[in-house]
Structures are given as C-alpha cells and as structure tokens.
Copies of this chain bind each other. A is one copy, B any other.
C-alpha cells in the first residue's frame, strides 16, 4: 500500500493503511487493536491520533492533506501537494534537529500522508502563554532550532551543488508561499475583503497605517526579500501555535510552509508572536509575565546569534567561503555585518507579523479571543504602532539591547512612531 496513488483515508481505511507499514505496524501492534481518534487542526488537513489498545503509551499522529481547504469544503481547492513539503522539511529536521521535532515514523508523498510521533504531555505554546505559563529555556530552544536549521541549510553550511539540490526540493512550494505573500505582505495594508479588522481599530488603520507611505514601502521591500532571497530553508510559519511544549521540551510542528527564504523570516515571526503575547497581558495585568516574555523574546535573538556564529566557526568551507580566501579579521568583519543584516531583516519581518496578526485574516488568539472590542482595539493599536515604530527604527538598530530599549521605551510611553503624537 506504500506509495500508492492518492486515496483519502477515513478511520477504517487508515487502520488498513497503517497495517501495511511494517515499522508502524510493529510499533502499534495493529492486529491487537488500535483506537483511532480524529483530532485535527481542522482547517487544512485531517489529523488522527492512533493509539495501541494493548499499550496506551504507544501512539502516533497521522496527518493527511486533502485537495481542498478542509474548513471550506471541496469547493475551495487547495493542492494537497503541501504535504510533500511538510514531509520533506520534517524529515530533514529529523536529521538536523531531532530533539526539536516529532519523529517521522513513515511518510508517503503520493498519499499526502505523514505518520509521526504523538507528542504526549505537550501543549501548544500559544495557549500556555495566554495562561501565563513559564517555560524554562524556551528562548534557548527556539534560538537553537533556528540557528541549527538555518545555518545548516544555508550557503554558509552547505556546499554549492548540494544546496541547489536541496533548493530544488522546495522551490515548487508555490501555493503556500503565495498565501504568505498575500496575507502577510499585501492584504492587511490595503482595503481587502480578507482582512478582519475590529471596527474601532479601523480608524487607526485608515489614518495612520495605510496612509504611511514609508511604512508601506518598507513592507513591500520585505515582500521583495521574501520573494527573492534564498538564504536558507526556513520553516515559513514559525509562531507560538506551531510549537508544542512542556516544561522540559519544545517541538516544532507544521512544516508545510517550508521553502528557501531569507534568514530573518522565522526569527521575525516568532518574536512578533512573543510580543503580541506581551501586549495581550496588558489585559490580564500580569506584569511579571510580560517581563518574562520580553526577556525571552530578546533572548531568542541572542541565542540564535551565539549558536549561528558557533556553527560558522566550525565551518571552513561552504557555498560562500573557500578556505584561504579571507583571513580571520576579514571573516570576522563579514560575520559581524551578516549578523547585523539578519537582525535588522528579522525586525522588519517582525513588524510585518505584528500588523498582519492585528488586522489580517489570521489573528492571534492571545488578542482576538478578547471579547470586549474596545479593550481589544487598544491592544491591536498598540501592536500596530509597535509595528510602525520597529519598521522605522529597523535599519538603525544593530544590537539586541538597542531593540530592547526601544521596545521598553515604547511600552513605557517614552517612544512612539514618527509622525504620531504620544497616545
């Protein structure tokens, strides 16, 4: 049944399908019975949890994409080939960073199916952060994941021809790239039916965001970078909802947006999600938690940079570098410039995420779940103003501490976007 033509699975067919895969069958002992439970992300794919009846500790997750947008039904076609890229990225991450991703038991691109480790006792980082839960070392884990995956798949970690071979595995992930181009970099900044704007927030958007030419052109420059810069294989959708965590572990999931893009993209997105959580806690009044979130978000940058540079120190030859081309001083200069560039780009991508999560189709539950629209609007505008501020400061910020100062001053009311009065 392996690598057959596509067939959409249901719980019955699923059992037969898993039975045909020796490794999965051995693990679950399917003949002795399994429990199949649809758990689903619900929006795009079918997701099942399959548990061995004779050993409840043995379970797998089975994810299958269908050739339409599941939440909208068959009338909304969406290529099931997205699963191809989820499989490819997750398998690569299994090699590069096995400690940070679910183990892949089996994958089948033709069937658009992946069978992977069930992450017992892990929960979604976003919901934990909404409740004010602390996760020791979360910044270290995220920073490590990013440094490892970005470096190892980049022109600094790979030889030129290997790298182009890997690029060819992801270049056709076109549909999901297009979603990002539209929903992160375009629609939120213009009048578009897909946006979801709180009516109270709308006035600010009209007067201060969509009229700000410099801001919009900065967004456009980042869209151009997203379209054209192939630094490394990026996760493409790294937010607090795509991290499964416990106090001890962190697992990155949902790799279907993976493609070769700019270094700063994942970094910017995940930090934006931390900052949005920070903003949401103005509503709970949990200042202590805000402090923790801000420190963690800045520590992601620091951890990333430290580990990225450590890896670089160990790598003498790559697509970019040939032993003997540079002396140590020259290389150090190049490294320093590169880290500043990645940092500044990620601040820009962070600004894009802050905005689109506040007014675009996909909000964050941290803020969108707040029922009172006036309370919510205040937080949304706080996020939008921070987006503008960061975008305008981006190219003058060279260090994490400088960024932290800007953000702290902003939340303290001591710093605000250009052309806007203190509010």
Task: Please give, as numbers and ranges, the residues of chain B lying within 8 Å of A327 by CB-CB distance.
Answer: 213
Partner of A171, one of B164, B190, B229, B334: B164
CB-based contact A164/B155 at 8 Å: no
Task: Please give, as numbers and ranges, the residues of chain B lying within 8 Å of A190 by CB-CB distance.
Answer: 322, 324-325
**Known contacts A160-B177, A181-B160, A216-B330; A186 and B230 CB within 8 A of each other:** no
CB-based contact B174/A161 at 8 Å: yes
CB distance from A361 to the nearest CB of B (A): 15
Task: Please give, as numbers and ranges, the residues of chain B lying within 8 Å of A164 by CB-CB distance.
Answer: 171-174, 177
| A195-217 contact mask (Cβ, 8 Å, vs B): 1 or 0 | 00000000000000000010011
Interface of A is mostly: helix
Judge whether A168 is part of the interface by a CB distance below 8 angstroms: yes
CB-based contact B178/A161 at 8 Å: yes
Task: Please give, as numbers and ranges, the residues of chain B lying within 8 Å of A326 by CB-CB distance.
Answer: 216-217, 220
| A162-190 contact mask (Cβ, 8 Å, vs B): 1 or 0 | 00110110011111011001100011011
Judge whether A228 is part of the interface by a CB distance below 8 angstroms: yes
User: What CA separation (Å) do A334 and B214 show in the bound complex?
Assistant: 10
| A209-247 contact mask (Cβ, 8 Å, vs B): 1 or 0 | 000010011001001100111110000000000000000
CB-based contact B330/A155 at 8 Å: no
CB-based contact A228/B230 at 8 Å: yes
Judge whether A333 is part of the interface by a CB distance below 8 angstroms: yes
Task: Please give, as numbers and ranges, the residues of chain B lying within 8 Å of A165 by CB-CB distance.
Answer: 172, 174
CB-based contact A186/B322 at 8 Å: yes
CB distance from A212 to the nearest CB of B (A): 10
CB distance from A78 to the nearest CB of B (A): 13
Judge whether A329 is part of the interface by a CB distance below 8 angstroms: yes
User: What CA separation (Å) do A181 and B334 show in the bound complex?
Assistant: 18
Question: Which residues of A317-342 have CB atoms within 8 Å of chain B's CB atoms?
Answer: 319-320, 322, 324-327, 329-330, 333-334
Judge whether A419 is part of the interface by a CB distance below 8 angstroms: no
Judge whether A121 is part of the interface by a CB distance below 8 angstroms: no
Task: Please give, as numbers and ranges, the residues of chain B lying within 8 Å of A229 by CB-CB distance.
Answer: 228-230
CB distance from A2 to the nearest CB of B (A): 26
Chain A residue total in the interface (Cβ 8 A): 43
CB distance from A161 to the nearest CB of B (A): 4
Judge whether A423 is part of the interface by a CB distance below 8 angstroms: no
**Known contacts A227-B160, A227-B319; A334 and B217 CB within 8 A of each other:** yes
Partner of A325, one of B189, B230, B329: B189
Judge whether A12 is part of the interface by a CB distance below 8 angstroms: no
Judge whether A43 is part of the interface by a CB distance below 8 angstroms: no
CB distance from A81 to the nearest CB of B (A): 12
User: What CA separation (Å) do A187 and B324 show in the bound complex?
Assistant: 10
CB-based contact B220/A325 at 8 Å: yes
CB-based contact A324/B160 at 8 Å: no
By beta carbon, the residue of chain B nearest A189 is: B325
CB-based contact B186/A161 at 8 Å: no
CB distance from A324 to the nearest CB of B (A): 5
Question: Mind listing 6 A-B residue pairs with CB under 8 Å?
Answer: A155-B224, A164-B174, A168-B168, A213-B330, A216-B330, A220-B320
Those 9 A-B pairs whose CB atoms lie nearest each other, nearest first: A164-B174, A161-B174, A155-B227, A168-B171, A160-B178, A213-B330, A190-B325, A186-B322, A228-B230
Beyond known contacts A182-B322, A220-B320, A228-B229: 14 more, CB 8 A cutoff: A155-B224, A155-B227, A160-B177, A160-B227, A161-B178, A164-B171, A186-B325, A187-B322, A216-B326, A217-B330, A217-B333, A217-B334, A220-B326, A229-B230
